[in-house]
Amino acid sequence: MASKGILETRQFDKKFASLLEEYGKHTYAELFRVLAHIELSPSAAEAQWREVARHQTELSRKMGRTVDIRVAMLDHFLSVRKKLKNPTILEFRVYQATERSSMQDELTGLYNYRYFNQTLEREFRRTTRYGGVLSVAIFDIDNFKLYNDQNGHVAGNTVLYKIARIMRSKVRDVDTLARYGGEEFACIFPETTKQGAMMVAERIRHAVEAASFPFANRMPGGKVTISGGVATCPFDGKTATLLLENADRALYLAKGEGKNCIKTFLTETRSFTRVPARIVGQYRLLSRHTGQISTKNLSKNGLLFEAKAPMPIGSIIEMTVKLTPRKSVSFKSSVVRVESGKGDRYDIGVVITKISAYDRKVLDHFIETHSGED
């Protein structure tokens, strides 16, 4: 029968392996920081951990019994590395509580900025390695400084806490929701298209708008509201950092268009000049149906048009656009943006994925000759 010491060591090893799988190399640094009050970089902590493991093996051999890894760590830094003068003994349950607090926001109970960024990096690597999609959203409470100035920080904290609860009720267990800083929140949506993330973000926005908050009548419009921005990998960023920055740009757009709305990052508008163009054309959603469109603007890389029904993000569309009475261009495109427009219309943004050399030349010439128009 295994001794109590061996059982405890196995339990520690199992828990540590779980933490390592979830948080990566940052686990090593956190372990040394909490158990030994030693600050190390993740890579240095990993190297030190190997030394502690070897020291544990050597101690166990000399003493003829299994030595707990925490005892080995203490002896290693007292006798070998001599980094500790007044060591603190800490039970693992205390470490678990500390570990939880290190990744949670104290006020809202959501994950914090640090944990969110670590998770985003991990999810981004997984998505780019195995394929699929990954969406992120950033939310900001509209006019929150005004609310705090008028009603005080206690009331402001109540708003933060309640909005956090609303958000948590609208996302899945697999999503990572965090208080990103101040009045900003952020969420990671694994295996979620831009359209799917937009739907969730809109549900959150509507729920906040409909909720009751203290002193809401003093706010513009008599309500507490939020704005948000959504970006999706692989369309909107080649790195996790760029993906988040582009979600933030979409949030900035939402703020600039009157607040209390959700916007998506527009991939098709970042690298090419757009020109206003009310052009009649046709599209064929492959294996689905055909219909007429009226474009809002046009660029060398894509276009924005109105449609009567939404289209799934990533859909491939065959399009023919009549630029002049005598000239039309045809191309294949992919849907990258879907938003509710006026009435029962939808704004559909697409990027051109395949076009003939001749049609490319015609389209480029049209854009260049109309680029100075309002």
Cite the active site residues: 183
Burial class (CB in 10 A: 0-12, 13-18, 19+), 92: middle
Residue 333 pairs with which residues in a beta bridge? 317, 352
Helical pair 26-36 and 4-23, crossing angle rounded to 10 deg: 130
Q: What is the DSSP pairing of strand 134-141 with strand 184-190? A: antiparallel
User: Are 252 and 268 contacting, i.e. CB atoms less than 8 angstroms apart?
Assistant: no
Residues linked to residue 187 through DSSP beta bridges, in sequence order: 137, 177
Q: Can you tell me the distance from the alpha carbon of 98 to that of 370, in angstroms, rounded to the nearest whole number? A: 61
Beta carbons of 167 and 230 less than 8 angstroms apart: no
CA-to-CA distance for 144 and 36, rounded, in angstroms? 41
Omega before 234 within 30 of 0, i.e. cis:
yes
What is the Rg, in whole angstroms, of the alpha carbon atoms belonging to the chain?
A: 27
- Which residues have a Cβ under 8 Å from the Cβ of 113 and sit 6 or more positions away? 178, 179, 180, 181
Closest CA to 330 of 312, 349, 303, 348: 303
Q: What is the token pair recorded at 19?
A: 């933490």
Per-residue exposure over 226-262, b if at least 16 CB sit within 10 Å of its own CB, e if not: bbbbbbbbebbbeebeebbbbbbbbbebbbeeebbbb
* Spatial distance between the Cα atoms of 67 and 56, rounded to a whole number of angstroms: 6
